[in-house]
Amino acid sequence: MTYKTVLLVLDANQFEADLTAAADLCAAASAHLSVFLVKVAAPPQFGDYAALSLAWLDIRAAEIEQLDKAVVSARTTLNGLGISFDVACEYTETAWDDDLIGERARYADVTLIGASMDPSLQTRAIEGALFYSARPVLLATNRQSVTLLPKRILLAWNSSFESTRAAREALDMMKKAESVNVVLVDPTAASRRNGGEPGADVATYLSRHGIHVTVDRLPSAGRQVEEVLKQHALDTSADLIVMGAYGHTRLRQRIFGGVTKAMIEAPVVPVLMVR
């Protein structure tokens, strides 16, 4: 699809680099930038007789003031850049910050997560957007490398529901790209999943949309799937990896690891994830 509204989720500490990079991205794509600044409240502290600590109340007041200043700063920065934008904020508790982010993401086409966020908040923001918005998330370690107009795309394909949604979500991007590599790692020919020629079905589907497709069937050779995908993205000079997210449960991913977890933690090129 064409992305006309980009949600940028930031915390209220260090966000200027993410903000200006997102503004550049939206300017290049003629998209509206919707900034959502999030501050997670400090956990309650109790004094004598189980009363709330006055020091904790002072901390909360300071955090709210910091959030208000961050909103003013973000608006000031964006006012001079000539793009369409809005800035909102939320002072919230850890228990429901992912829900709030997911709800906000429903009214955007794609969600960007600040690269400078606190790691625990960043993880919850990604999961909130993926699980509670039905919208894709765009991730990158180097925010300056992110674009909504990639020239070379790697589509990670395993015939799953999640990868099918990812392919459909990125159709417009792939139509405009110069090349699209559909990558299967250790595919097995089977009528129920990959067919007699793994990758042929999805390549035919994409070709009917006018997309120039190359199918790469790669052996893992003992490596993790995410390692194969990352290396192939570098080898093909991909601007973007498109992939389905959380084919397994979040609990299993956290305990045993998985492709989604690995790509979130260390993307070598920008990654568009779809749940």
Predicted confidence (pLDDT) per residue in 161-172, tens digit? 999 999 999 999
User: How does residue 190 score in pLDDT terms, banded at 50, 70 and 90?
Assistant: low
The whole-number average pLDDT for the span 121-129 is 92
The whole-number average pLDDT for the span 225-234 is 96
Longest dimension (CA), the chain: 71
Q: Report DSSP state, residue 88.
A: E
Q: What is the pTM of this model?
A: 0.90
Residue 272 and residue 148 in contact, taking contact as beta carbons nearer than 8 Å: no
**Structural domains present in the chain:** 5-143 (3.40.50.620), 150-274 (3.40.50.620)
What SS3 state is found at 182? strand
Number of residues assigned to the chain: 275
Residue 88 phi/psi, 5-degree rounding, is: -130, 165
